[in-house]
Every structure is written in structure tokens, then in C-alpha cells.
Structure 1
Amino acid sequence: MRFSDYPFLRYLPFLIVGVLFTRVELSIPIPVLIGTVIVSWGLYLVLIVQKVGQNSLSSAFLGYFLIFSLGYSLTLLQKERAAASKDENLGDSISYLARVTKHDVEKPNSFENQLEVIATLESMGWKKSHGKVLVYHKSKTPLIPGQVILVANSPDRISSPTFPNEFDYSGFLERKGIHYRQFIGEKFEVFDSSEVNSFTYRLANFREKLLGIIEAKVPNRASQQIAAALLLGQKENLDKDIKNAYAETGTMHILAVSGLHVGIIYAILLFPLKGIRIKSSQKRIYLTTVILLIWVYAILTGFSPSVIRAATMFSLFTVGQMRKRCPSSFNILAFSAMVMITLDPTVIYEVGFQLSYAAVAGILLIQPLIVRFWLPPNRVLEYLWQLTAVSIAAQLTTFPLSVYYFHIFPTYFLIANLFIIPLSFVVMSVGISFLALSWIPLLGAGLGGMVSGLIWVQNWITHTIQLFPGGNMERLTITFSGMLLVWGMLIIWANWEFGNRKKLVYLMICLFLVWTGDRFFRELNRPEQELLIFSGEKGILLDFKLGNRYFSWNESFPAEQISFSVDPNRIAEHRPHLIDPILAFADDSLTHFSVWNFDFNPRSKTFYWKGQHPKQIEEISSLKVRQLTQSDSLKASIAAFRVVF
């Protein structure tokens, strides 16, 4: 098959590049952009209607440019809507009225919820407002979607990450439209509850009712949490130990409602058609009902990227069945991605979106190659081998992303998935029956007990595999060029037998040159001696690099903050997890370091370069690097600094 046989697979990269191009700071007026797109459309339609150069580079260029412009325009429009959806003065208000949009999520010391601001009280009185606020409260009475509450005081803006490679929590929430958060305790008053039972919040209330059924009829608490995650996509209340167990065994995807779960639902719904002959018109009606039920399930479980992708793909496959056609899986995969990006361009930055599409692409490309290595002698072994091939293929294409974002790799993922995936299929089959028949007293209690027991077994297997020695490789890193190299090698492997081998060899050479060049320039620009300064609100931490040796010094920097603010940079820079402390000598108000012979004043957070003066001083963050003027001292504000000697 030629690449040109997959049109949506060809269009997708141009749409993604259009979205990414908005990160380049260009001040293009919207009217100019719209005019350019209209003129391009006009030229493209003229070429198509007159059949002039239909297969020429000019028409192809215009077509791809229009797809690029679509991604660029949609992203700009979304940014404008996002900017208009927040009130910049919300942080200065005296108090505000807001509508509750979700049910409470239990946290260790409070309850989390989300508010949509309606109006704010300022010095001149009340005025209409807008924006989303993440709140934490300690009220014994839960907040219910649809309630309007009066909140005292103003919320705080969510600050950007301070240190390099630190997780951008503010950016994560900003993509959800949330720019403020506030601990309100019990300093709020329910102002209105008339909208609680309205149609807008009926789905959220129905989901909460199903959660109540699980909590009431599934006896074991750990089983309740897994059942809520498996059946309803509610994983906010999962205990930390359970999350770690599933993450370290490579089965975390079981707890996030994804294509696997939609596939199980799809298989259950299509099971009645096996072995039964019905009229084509009746089959169309049934398959249409299956599509509707899949989308109802997608909406019920929160509409995550992986669920939307799976629901779109299964819907298109089902439509193909009704039309007695077999559409290309790659075309369907690319089309579903284009639909999601068109609806929400920023979805390409979500880790779930990237992992979901990488996993499915790996299964489509690599799984058939792995299956060919062995021909099992019976159906049981064939089923296990097919499942093994799927797990290996998905892991091969997703492990670069897992290492890039999470820096871990589960060694026993294959063993764990061989047990957990079939068991989760049984759990979901029984669980769906349980939710549907829970209103029948004895039957509902019996099915709830079965769900609890099956999940207990699933958890026991997961925790047992977690205890295997060497089960989790940690502190791994990979560069973007490294990811391209891995994916390029997989594509070459997948196309080696039928593709143009000469071009594939050229591709491999280019990928190795890019990867090698990237590593060379990184090593070339890596200084032999440097000091990294992490200056926070409560203290300061210093990381020393002397050739291949690393040392650290801590001045009141909170230990619990190191793991998420400093450690990501240490991992990215290949520093060891446990760093030896360095000797320093306190003298009056100064601390003296014999390395490079400099002094530090903890009170003023000022460094005095007495001996070897720095060659370069930079203020660094996750987004930018700013060169500082050379001087005999450095006053460290709340930021990170790199001092090169």
C-alpha cells in the first residue's frame, strides 16, 4: 500500500504543525489571516473545478496550506476565547458568587471542587464576572453541581513553575480553563439551589448516583475505588498505594477509561449478533443502537481523549459494517485525531492523547509483525500469544513517551498485562450487569460481591507482581531526538518487507545523524564546572557539578518540595538520586564554600564571588533562559540560576 492511499494520515501532520506554529510569536491580525485563507480557498477551488494541475504541486501545496491554516486559525481562536473567559480582576475582588460545576472529590484534609464565577463584589459594588476557580473546602455538607455559593475573599492566581523541568501545573489547569484556586474552608454560604436538578447537571448527578451504588453494594473499599475507575472513569479517589502498584506494573491504563474499555463494551454489545441470522435492516438498527450506546458510555465516563478516539473508531468501523465496507484502520485513526484536534487544538499537549494514539498506532503497525514470529498449536496459546503481541507492540511505541514524561519503565508489564487485561474484561462484564441490575435486592448484592471479589484478586495479583525484584526501572531519560529515533526504527521495521528499502535506509541514516548531532551539541554545551541555585520561598538549595562528581547543600529548603521541584532537573541532567553533601563553614552571618571560594549570606540570599569569578550567570526556568550581567555578587530572588565557572 502506498502512503498516498491514506489521505487523512497525510493531512494530520499539517494540522498538527498548524497548531504548534501558534507557539511562535507572530502578530498576524485576524482579518489578514482570514483574507489569506479565503484567497487560498478561492485559488484551490478554481484549480479543482477547471481540473488544471489537479495532481500538480500547486494544488497540493494549496490543499496542505489550507489544512495548516485550519490548525493555526482554530488554535488562535481558542486562545482568544480562553483569554476572554477569565476575569483579570477576579483576584482583587472582596467576595464573589459562583456556581458549583462538579461533585466533591475527597482529598487527605479537605474536599476539592470547581466553581464557575458569576459575579464579583468590588469597591464600587457587584458586577458580572466569569472564570473558573479550583476550591478546597471542609464543609460537612457536600457541594452539589448547580448550587450557587457566596465565597468570602478573593482567589489566588495559580503560579507558573519556578524551576527548570518542574511540572507545569498552572499550564495543565489553564488548558482546562482554570486560572485561580482558593482554600475556602467553611467561609462560604449556599446562595441558591434551584438549578441542582436541572438538565445541565443531570448527567453529573446520574454518575454520582452510580458511584453511590458502587459504594453501597461493593463491600471492599479498595474494590470500590477500582470499580469506580473501571466502570465510570472516576479515578480521583484512588489511594496512592493502589496508583503506585498499577503504575509500577505497567497496568495503569486499566484504571483510566480508554480504548480498551470501549472495546470491551463494544465486544459485549456485539456478542448477541454472533451465530444469529437477522435481516440487514434489523442489523442496521441494532448497530446504530450500538453506536449510540458507545457514545453514551463515552459521555458518562468523562469524554477523555482515549475514549473519544476509541468511540470514533468503533463508530466508523460499525458504519463500515452497515455499508459492507472495510475502511482502513490508519485512515480511521488519523481521522479521529483530526476530529479531536479540530474540536480542541490543545488536546495534542495532553499526555493521555499522545499515549492513546501512540499505543493504537503501535498495535496497528507492529502487532502483526510480532504475531508472525510464532504459530501457536492451539486456541488457548493463540489467544495468549495475540494478547502478548498487543502488549509488546503498545509498549514499544509508548515507552519513549513514558520515559520522557514519567522517567520510569515497568519491567514486568508483559506478565502483569497477561493476567490483568483478561481479568478486567471479566470485571467489566460483571460490573456492567451489576450497575444495570443493582435495583434488584438479592441479585444486585450478589453481583456487587462478585465485582468486589474479582477486583480483590486483580489487586492481589498487581501487588504481588509489584514485589518482584527489579520490577521498576526509574530515573530514565530520553530526548526528543531519541524519541524520533525509536519511532523511526519501528516505522522502518514495519515497512521493511514491502517498502522502498533504499528510502528506509536513508531515513535511518538521517535519524541517526539528528540523534547523534543532538547528543554531540548537548555534550559540547555541557559545562565541566557549574553551580545550580534553587531559590524558593522557604529556603535555598545548591547543586554543585565538578567534572563527573556531584554535591549538594541545603539551606532550609523543604525536603518534601525537592521531589517535585528540584528532582526533575536532576533527572534531566543525569544527576544521581542521592547526592553527597558538600562542606561549608559558617562565619558570623556568612557561609563560606571552599569550592570556587565564594561566600553566601542566608539572610539576604546573596552570593559573593571572591575567588574564581563565574564565566556565565543565567536565570533559568522551564520556558526561557535569561543572561544576567556579570558582577561580584548575585542576589537570588525566587528563581533558579545556573552559574558556570
Structure 2
Amino acid sequence: MFHRIRKKILFTILTGLFFVFIGVFSVHFQKARHQIPFETKSSEQLTPVLIKLVKRLKTTSNSANYIAEIKQIGLSTAKGKLLFQVQIDTVKPTLILSDFLWVYGDLEKVQGPLNPHQFDYKAYLEKLDVYQRMTVKNGHWVMQESNAFSILRWADQTRLQIQTALKKLDFTSDEFGIINALLLGQRTELSEELQEDYTKAGAIHILAISGLHIGILLLLFNTLFKPLLFFKQGAYIKTILLVLLLWAFALIAGLSSSVIRATTMFSFVAIAMIFKSQTAVLHSLISSLFVLLLYNPLFLFDVGFQLSYAAVFGIVWMQPLIYKIWKPKVWLFRKAWQLTTVSIAAQLAVLPISLYYFHQFPALFIVSNLLIVPCLGFILFVGLLVIALSLFNAVPIFLVDAYGFIIATMNAIIQWIASQDAFVIEEIPFSAPLLLVSYACLISAFLYISKPKFIKLVSLLLAILCFQSLYFLEKWQSSQQRKFVVFHQTAQTVLIHQQGTTATLFHNLDSLSLKHSSFLKSYRIGERITRQTAIDSIPSLISFANKKLLIVDSLGVYQLNGLEYPIVLLRQSPKINLERLILSVTPSLVIADGSNYTSSIEAWEKICKNFKLPFYNTRTQGAFVFYEDK
């Protein structure tokens, strides 16, 4: 028996090492870390770069953003990816994926975050193998013709054609934005307010084509094709049709990464449904996970990928266990309980990831999911019908009005739920270690529920103990923080004096900017700030620890008061004689924040260099952080 156990352990270890080897090899082989031969620099003669558009990113108010593959730089063949940004003027660029463009501009490195705990867009792009960016004005390129067929181009053209057809119908801007997101995977037409409402209501997943949408379509098509089971090979014919229809929808949705992943996952599920076994479905999910990670291991770090698989695994594994808690006899109650348990299982499975990335918990998620998800299948089905008819200009007015009313009603429900501020818990600190330990707690709990055993109970209690210990350790570490921060903010000055979990904020932001400031919110979450006092003026002198901060603004008026070796902060481009100031107080450091002109900063930096005095520029170096315990 001991020999058999030893062989089993050895087999498990070797299997694990084998998959680790596959992962390492796949990363090495697939990850396109191709170095660009050289960077183009600003000069009188810019080097032409040939690029191919491969992915459309979210459009901002200033630019349309794409991921592009570099094919050629000048006369040299090149490989790599870049962030291609087109400045938006009065007209948005009409570019199609797989377009080849000759562009003239500077290849620049993507800048990292300039403030503590700010979203790291550079790291996000690096996971897409993107290390440089290029910004051009709208129309400042030469299109290179290509006769080669591209399924990506065809999918993008089809989606644009559908969008054009839908815009001709009498939908409001919010209704069109929802239809565009639900059926075409594009959230560019959604207002910020509507997106925020869906987030607060715990229903933002509805607006991103994912496993939920593909899964609902699979159930709809599966029900539609049930009569095929009466034929001898009906099960196989049905499966083939299901997979084809799912991929047809993926084409309409533009073949984005999230859509491809979800469709691949449910294609495996459709095949597993032939065997009518929960175990087969679970194995199919694991198989699809393996195939997708083999194709691109970096999917593992994609938030959408993590949320999608966590939710589906939660529904497949956790939902049956939760459903057993209560078995209502009335059909209506049974169906309502089934839907509730699906929502609870999915939310439990994604909760740690949601807290880690988004730091908020919508307590009314069950209400929004109970009211919206049951209708989502009907909304998707009617939406596909509207799309099909719109391509032939044959959508009846009553159908447009009815569908618009359904979408407007859904938006109204979401807006009402989102308005219940007391039920939206925001700014929840949640670190990566807490994420891992919380999943250990969750998995241990459901393993114990499935088959209660003493060893499983011990594992669960240990996981909970680890979670509590880690939580209190992080809380204690935050309470020990003592620091002063000069943030980087264009045209503004923002300072924070932090003592433990309390902070004093000095700023010149308007009330709206202060309320919606993402970098300040990220800082509060990351540092576990529980109490913040905001002062909407910048004093000329601030004391912290054993240091003095002399602040010189645009008036250029300051009082020395016997100061020695202070830190000097220059803001709003003051017209001062910096040399005289340096000789007067002998500062230990000069800081220039984002409220200054670039020309002024460059002049000050030269003066400090002549005096061999440290100079700190937040525009290039990011926020200045002074730790009081050092």
C-alpha cells in the first residue's frame, strides 16, 4: 500500500513538472518579445513605419487607440507591437482591423504610473507584448493596399456595417449604447454615468460579452435544436450546429479576445453536453482552459479571463451544493431559488478577484441579477433578430419601439438599484496575498460542504486563520506609515501628509475633480486611509517630521524666516530668481510638480545642476514620496 501511495505521489509530481515545462516553453515560444531594431526620434526627417492594426482598444475623449503590429521601419523588416493612438479632432478615424498603414512619427516608450497605487497602464500593455507607442494626427498616414483575405478585417467590417444599420433606427443614445455593448461587444457608445450605474448595481458583466452571454445563447440554441435528438445522429448534428452558431455570433461581436475565449470555452461545453454529465462539463472547462493557455499563456493575467472562468467554475461546482440547502416544492419558487443560487455561486467565485481589481462590493447584486439575467436570453434573441432585419432595412417600427422600451426599462431598473448608495460598499482594500488566501478559504469551505471530513474542516479553519492573520498584519502595517507625498497632476498641485490611516490633503482642485479623482481614490485604497481631511488651499510652508517644505507659487512671494536646508516646491511657474533663493536658504532639494510649464522646469533643472543640488521633476520621475521614519 505504501508503495502504491509513493507511486501516486511521484506521478502527481512528475505530471505537475510536465505542465510547468509546457507552460515555460509556451511562454518562451508564444510571447512575442521582439525588440524593435531602433527607435525613431524627433527630427526634421521622420522614419516611416509600416504597421498592421490588430486590436481596437477603448476610445477616449482625445484619441482612438489600437494595438498594431510593426512590420517595417524604413527599409528594415521589424517585429513587435505598439500602442497606436490617433488624435480625435472633429471626425473619428474610420480604420478597419487588419489595415496596413505607413505612418510617420516617434516611437516612444510607454510611461509607467506617475502616482503611488495608480493603475499601471504600462504593465497592462506589457502583458499584451506592447512596449512602445506612437501618436499621430487623424489622417496622417498612407494606406497600403492588401488583397489578402483577413477574417479579422471581415469581422470588423461586418460589425461596422451592423452599427451603421442600427444607427438608422429610432433608438436613444443610451439604448444604442446598450445594444452595441450587449450584441457587438463595443462599450465605446456608453456614457460614463450609465457604466457607473451598472457597476454599482453589480451588473457590469452584462455589458461585456463574456461567458454569461455565450452560455445563455448556448442554452437558447440547445433548446431550439432539441427536436434533432429524435434522429439517429441528431446529438452530433445538434452539437455541430451549436458550435457553428456560437462562432457566428463571435464573428458578429468582432472576434475580440474575450469573445474568442468565451466561445472556445462553451464550444468545449457544447461537446461535453453529449455525455450529459456534470463531470464531463467540468473536464471540458479544464480542457478549454488548457488549450487557451497553451495558445497564449498571458491570458492567465487577463482580468476578463479570470472573471469568466471563475464564474463558470463557480456555477458548475458551487451552485449544486448551494442549491441543496433548500428544495422548494412549488415550481415558481424552485426556479427562483435555482436562479438565485446561480447568481450567488457566480458572485462568490468572482468576489475575491472583483475586490482585488475593483475594490467595491454591490450588496444588491442578487436583486439586479434576479431582475435582469432571466430576461437576458430574450433580450439577446430579439437583439439578434433586430440586427438581422436591420441589415435588410426591414425592421418593423413596433419591434424597434418594443425593443427600445425593454432596454430603457432595464436601464431604469439598474439606475434605481445603483441609486441605493447605502448598499454599495466602496474603497475596500484587498491585496494579492488576501486574494490567494480568500480562494483557499472558499475552496476549503466547499470541499468540506461536498464531503464533510475532519481533515477538510482543519484545512478550512487554518485557511480562515491565515486570512485573519494576514488582514490584521496589513492593517497594522498601514497604521505605521508616516509619509509626505507630492503628487503629479497636470496644471494642479496636490499634496498629502499621511499619518497611519489618517491623511491631510492640500489641493487646488475644484469640487468635481476632487470627487472623481481616480489617483486619490487609488491612494486611499492602497494605503487604507480611513479618514481624510481636505484643505482647498496650498500653504506657503508645511512642517512634517523634522523637515520644512517651502512652497513658492506663481506670485513668487515667500518668507524665509530663518529657514535652513528646507525642501523647496515650485508650483504654477513662479517668476523667481532661483539662484538667489538657493543662496539664501541652501535647500536640500528642489521639486517641480505638474503645475509648471515644461520650459520653466528645464531652466530650473539646469540651475540646480550648476549648484550640484538635487532636483526632482514629477513630470518624468513621478510623485515625490518622503518617508518620515527615514
The bucket for the TM-score relative to the shorter chain is: 0.7 to 0.9
Partner of 1:135: helix, strand, or coil? strand
> Could you report, residue by residue, the CA deviation over 1:222-278 in whole angstroms, capped at 9, with x for unpaired residues?
111111111121223321111111111011111111112112211221223345652
Gaps of 5+ in 2: 557-562, 568-588, 590-612
Which of 61, 64, 73 aligns to 2:16? It is 64
Which of 416, 441, 464 aligns to 1:489? It is 441
Aligned length, in residue pairs: 563
Question: Structure 1's 602 and 556: CA in aligned 2 closer, same or farther, altered over 3 A?
Answer: farther
In 2, Cα distance between the equivalents of 1:320 and 1:65? 28
Answer yes or no: is the 8 Å Cα contact 1:340–1:347 preserved in 2.
Answer: yes
| CA shift for structure 1 position 164 | 2.9
Answer yes or no: is the 8 Å Cα contact 1:530–1:546 preserved in 2.
Answer: yes
Question: Structure 1's 108 and 326: CA in aligned 2 closer, same or farther, altered over 3 A?
Answer: closer
Question: Structure 1's 54 and 510: CA in aligned 2 closer, same or farther, altered over 3 A?
Answer: closer
| CA shift for structure 1 position 500 | 5.3
Answer yes or no: is the 8 Å Cα contact 1:541–1:555 preserved in 2.
Answer: yes
> Could you report, residue by residue, the CA deviation over 1:325-353 in whole angstroms, capped at 9, with x for unpaired residues?
66433322222222221111111111111
| CA shift for structure 1 position 309 | 5.1
Alignment of 1:553 onto 2:506 = yes
Instruction: Identify the residue that residue 76 of structure 2 maps to in structure 1.
Output: 127
> Could you report, residue by residue, the CA deviation over 1:490-528 in whole angstroms, capped at 9, with x for unpaired residues?
333323245352212321343234334434543554564
Amino acid at match of 1:173: L
In 2, Cα distance between the equivalents of 1:172 and 1:308? 19
In 2, Cα distance between the equivalents of 1:107 and 1:480? 29
Answer yes or no: is the 8 Å Cα contact 1:91–1:157 preserved in 2.
Answer: no
Answer yes or no: is the 8 Å Cα contact 1:218–1:451 preserved in 2.
Answer: no
Instruction: Identify the residue that residue 573 of structure 1 maps to in structure 2.
Output: 527
Answer yes or no: is the 8 Å Cα contact 2:179–2:383 preserved in 1.
Answer: yes
Amino acid at match of 2:87: H
Instruction: Identify the residue that residue 564 of structure 1 maps to in structure 2.
Output: 518
In 2, Cα distance between the equivalents of 1:118 and 1:100? 11
Partner of 1:82: helix, strand, or coil? coil
Alignment of 1:173 onto 2:157 = no
| CA shift for structure 1 position 475 | 0.9
In 2, Cα distance between the equivalents of 1:545 and 1:106? 36
CA RMSD of aligned residues (A): 3.6
In 2, Cα distance between the equivalents of 1:383 and 1:59? 44
Answer yes or no: is the 8 Å Cα contact 1:132–1:180 preserved in 2.
Answer: yes
Normalising by structure 1, we get a TM-score of 0.77
Partner of 2:51: helix, strand, or coil? strand
Alignment of 1:68-147 (within 5 A): 68-79=20-31, 81-84=32-35, 86-90=36-40, 93-101=46-54, 107-121=60-74, 126-130=75-79, 131-138=81-88, 140=91, 142-147=94-99
Answer yes or no: is the 8 Å Cα contact 1:100–1:145 preserved in 2.
Answer: yes
| CA shift for structure 1 position 596 | 3.6
Amino acid at match of 1:641: V
In 2, Cα distance between the equivalents of 1:202 and 1:382? 45
Amino acid at match of 1:572: G
Answer yes or no: is the 8 Å Cα contact 1:137–1:186 preserved in 2.
Answer: yes
Alignment of 1:237 onto 2:189 = yes
In 1, Cα distance between the equivalents of 2:191 and 2:101? 30
Alignment of 1:179-194 (within 5 A): 179-186=131-138, 188-194=140-146
> Could you report, residue by residue, the CA deviation over 1:92-125 in whole angstroms, capped at 9, with x for unpaired residues?
654434344467975434544454434334xxxx
Answer yes or no: is the 8 Å Cα contact 1:157–1:180 preserved in 2.
Answer: yes
Question: Structure 1's 429 and 119: CA in aligned 2 closer, same or farther, altered over 3 A?
Answer: same
Amino acid at match of 1:569: Y
Instruction: Identify the residue that residue 248 of structure 2 maps to in structure 1.
Output: 296
Alignment of 1:383-532 (within 5 A): 383-443=335-395, 445-499=397-451, 501-519=453-471, 521-522=473-474, 525-526=477-478, 528=480, 530-532=482-484
Question: Structure 1's 537 and 412: CA in aligned 2 closer, same or farther, altered over 3 A?
Answer: closer
Partner of 2:291: helix, strand, or coil? helix
Question: Structure 1's 572 and 105: CA in aligned 2 closer, same or farther, altered over 3 A?
Answer: closer
In 2, Cα distance between the equivalents of 1:320 and 1:556? 57
Amino acid at match of 1:203: A
Answer yes or no: is the 8 Å Cα contact 2:217–2:246 preserved in 1.
Answer: yes
In 2, Cα distance between the equivalents of 1:498 and 1:111? 50
Partner of 1:462: helix, strand, or coil? helix
Amino acid at match of 2:466: V
Partner of 1:55: helix, strand, or coil? helix
Which of 291, 297, 301 aligns to 1:349? It is 301
Instruction: Identify the residue that residue 221 of structure 1 maps to in structure 2.
Output: 173
| CA shift for structure 1 position 194 | 4.6
Question: Structure 1's 602 and 517: CA in aligned 2 closer, same or farther, altered over 3 A?
Answer: farther
Amino acid at match of 1:472: V
In 1, Cα distance between the equivalents of 2:519 and 2:337? 42
In 2, Cα distance between the equivalents of 1:198 and 1:493? 48
Amino acid at match of 1:234: Q
In 1, Cα distance between the equivalents of 2:507 and 2:108? 29
Alignment of 1:599 onto 2:549 = yes
Answer yes or no: is the 8 Å Cα contact 1:175–1:346 preserved in 2.
Answer: yes
Amino acid at match of 1:570: R
In 1, Cα distance between the equivalents of 2:24 and 2:150? 37
Amino acid at match of 1:240: E
Question: Structure 1's 55 and 265: CA in aligned 2 closer, same or farther, altered over 3 A?
Answer: same
Amino acid at match of 1:82: R
In 2, Cα distance between the equivalents of 1:499 and 1:271? 33
| CA shift for structure 1 position 485 | 4.2
| CA shift for structure 1 position 195 | 4.4
Partner of 2:7: helix, strand, or coil? coil
Answer yes or no: is the 8 Å Cα contact 1:411–1:473 preserved in 2.
Answer: yes
Amino acid at match of 1:544: H
Answer yes or no: is the 8 Å Cα contact 1:94–1:120 preserved in 2.
Answer: yes
Identity %: 23
Moved more, 347-356 or 361-370: 361-370
Question: Structure 1's 595 and 288: CA in aligned 2 closer, same or farther, altered over 3 A?
Answer: same
Partner of 1:598: helix, strand, or coil? strand
Gaps of 5+ in 1: 1-50, 611-616, 618-632
Answer yes or no: is the 8 Å Cα contact 1:531–1:643 preserved in 2.
Answer: yes
| CA shift for structure 1 position 363 | 1.9
In 2, Cα distance between the equivalents of 1:89 and 1:431? 47
Amino acid at match of 1:551: T
Instruction: Identify the residue that residue 625 of structure 2 maps to in structure 1.
Output: 641
Which of 334, 355, 364 aligns to 2:316? It is 364
Instruction: Identify the residue that residue 497 of structure 2 maps to in structure 1.
Output: 544
